């Protein structure tokens, strides 16, 4: 059933595992994610960004979720990912979202604090969980920016959590969105993550966490794509981040790579097909497979 993100954050934080937060913007991805989670008996966050809402319309996205919510035995939250505008937060609440992220990490600390407090005051009354972010999601290649400038400051995180009352915090520790996370070797600031957990004790969220697996990158390049140099967070690093206190792992790029690699392959090989379902169904299966793999990596299988 559809539940508040609060119960998911609390359980993952208490039992020290992570819950997958998988992005969707259409029926195929939504069905693949929920079917995978049901088969793994794992709780999940299903989440939409503001651009997903622009693409499909919130009525379609929220409507599909509410239509199927009682078909699944696992608890799952419908989460607004990277809510950059309070208006979007309010729209999501009106459409039955059960968790929201207010992302003011690109604004001043004071601005982030003020708006986050306001969102918490609304959501707390409604039993809706609130996630916020501190620091910037940019891959920290030393020559580009100094780590201090962009990564989360653990002391500041402590004050931010105490003054806002958020349910979960996304601390920037060196990851970045998309398929090109690192130029050199992947580098997550585990010391910083450890300090944030010790000081705040709350549920933590890792953004830009996709693994960007070689098999999908190669397949995309083989069948007409060109994403050479794509690199993500290695499984071992991800596991270490979960051990150090990450409780929600945002996963978007891995699902895209799985879907597109299968789509490109079939588009290249099946020259007589004109029924989209002949391509979309196998592509959905690929998404389901990668979601199951990531659920197991996060340690949340069987934790429904």
Ligand X SMILES: O=C(COP(=O)(O)O)NO
Indicate which residues carry an active-site annotation: 81
Q: Choose between 18 and 274: whose C-beta lies nearer to ligand X.
A: 18
Q: Choose between 181 and 192: whose C-beta lies nearer to ligand X.
A: 181
> Does position 79 bind Zn ion by CB under 5 A?
no
Work out what residue 164 binds among ligand X, Zn ion, Ca ion, none; the CB cut-off runs from 5 to 8 Å by kind. Answer: none
Build a one-symbol-per-residue string for 26-45: x at contacts with ligand X by CB under 6 A, - elsewhere: --------------------
Q: What is the DSSP string of 210-222?
A: ----HHHHHHHHH
Q: In the window 149-168, what residues touch Na ion (CB under 5 A)? A: none
Work out what residue 251 binds among Na ion, Ca ion, ligand X, none; the CB cut-off runs from 5 to 8 Å by kind. Answer: ligand X
Reference 208, options 125, 105, 120; nearest CA is 105
Build a one-symbol-per-residue string for 172-201: x at contacts with ligand X by CB under 6 A, - elsewhere: -----xx-----------------------
Question: How far is CA 154 from each of CA 58, 137, 172, 191, 205, rounded to the nearest angstrom?
Answer: 35, 16, 10, 10, 14
For residue 220, the number of C-alpha atoms closer than 13 Å in the C-beta half-sphere is: 21
Q: Choose between 81 and 167: whose C-beta lies nearer to Na ion.
A: 81
Q: Choose between 164 and 250: whose C-beta lies nearer to Zn ion.
A: 250
Residue 165 phi, psi dihedral angles, 5° rounding: 75, 25
> Does position 35 bind Ca ion by CB under 5 A?
no
Build a one-symbol-per-residue string for 236-255: x at contacts with Zn ion by CB under 5 A, - elsewhere: --------------x-----
How far apart are the C-alpha atoms of 114 and 130, rounded to whole Å? Answer: 14
Q: Choose between 250 and 261: whose C-beta lies nearer to Zn ion.
A: 250
Q: How far is the CB of 275 from ligand X (least distance, A)?
A: 30
Q: How far is the CB of 103 from Ca ion (least distance, A)?
A: 4
SS3 category, 227? coil
> Does position 103 bind Ca ion by CB under 5 A?
yes
> Does position 105 bind Ca ion by CB under 5 A?
yes
| Burial zone of 199 (CB within 10 Å; 0-12 exposed, 13-18 middle, 19+ buried) | middle
Q: How far is the CB of 123 from Zn ion (least distance, A)?
A: 19
Q: How far is the CB of 207 from ligand X (least distance, A)?
A: 3
- Contact segment (CB under 5 A) with Na ion among 28-36, 80-88, 134-142, 154-162 equals 80-88
How far apart are the C-alpha atoms of 1 and 66, rounded to whole Å? Answer: 10
Residue 130 near residue 100 (C-beta atoms within 8 A) = yes
> Does position 81 bind Na ion by CB under 5 A?
yes
How far apart are the C-alpha atoms of 201 and 77, rounded to whole Å? Answer: 22
Q: With contacts defined by CB under 5 A, how many residues of the chain interact with Na ion? A: 2
69 secondary structure, DSSP code: G
For residue 184, the number of C-alpha atoms closer than 13 Å in the C-beta half-sphere is: 8
Residue 20's CB is within 10 A of a number of other CB atoms, namely 29
Instruction: Give the CB-nearest residue to Zn ion.
Output: 207
Among 207, 219, 231, 303, binds Zn ion (CB under 5 A): 207
Q: How far is the CB of 180 from ligand X (least distance, A)?
A: 10
Question: How far is CA 53 from each of CA 88, 95, 105, 292, rounded to the nearest angstrom?
Answer: 9, 12, 21, 25
Q: Which residues bind ligand X (CB under 6 A)?
A: 23, 81-82, 177-178, 207-210, 250-254
């Amino acid at each position: 059933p559809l539940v508040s993100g609060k119960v998911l954050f609390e359980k993952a934080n208490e039992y020290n595992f992570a819950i997958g937060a998988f992005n969707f913007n259409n029926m195929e991805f939504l069905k693949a994610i929920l079917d995978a989670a049901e088969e793994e008996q794992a709780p999940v966050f299903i989440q939409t960004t503001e651009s997903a809402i622009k693409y499909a319309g919130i009525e379609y996205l929220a409507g599909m979720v509410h239509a199927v919510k009682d078909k699944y035995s696992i608890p799952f939250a419908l989460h607004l990912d990277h809510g950059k505008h309070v208006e979007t937060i309010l729209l999501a609440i009106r459409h039955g979202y059960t968790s929201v992220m207010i992302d003011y990490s690109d604004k001043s600390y004071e601005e982030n604090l003020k708006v986050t407090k306001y969102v918490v005051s609304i959501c707390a009354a409604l039993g809706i969980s609130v996630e916020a972010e501190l620091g910037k999601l940019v891959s920290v290649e030393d020559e580009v920016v100094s780590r201090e400038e962009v990564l989360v400051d653990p002391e500041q995180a402590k004050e931010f959590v105490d003054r806002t009352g958020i349910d979960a915090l996304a601390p920037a520790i060196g990851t970045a969105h998309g398929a090109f996370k690192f130029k050199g070797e992947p580098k997550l600031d585990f010391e910083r993550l450890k300090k944030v957990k010790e000081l705040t004790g709350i549920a933590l969220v890792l953004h830009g966490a996709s693994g960007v697996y070689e098999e999908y990158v190669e397949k995309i390049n083989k069948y007409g794509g060109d994403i050479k140099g794509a690199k993500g967070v290695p499984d071992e690093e991800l596991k270490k981040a979960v051990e150090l206190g990450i409780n929600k792992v945002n996963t978007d790029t891995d699902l895209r790579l799985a879907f597109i690699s299968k789509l490109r392959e079939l588009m290249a090989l099946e020259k007589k097909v004109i029924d989209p379902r002949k391509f979309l169904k196998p592509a959905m299966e690929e998404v389901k497979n990668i979601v199951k793999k990531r659920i197991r990596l996060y340690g949340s299988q069987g934790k429904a």
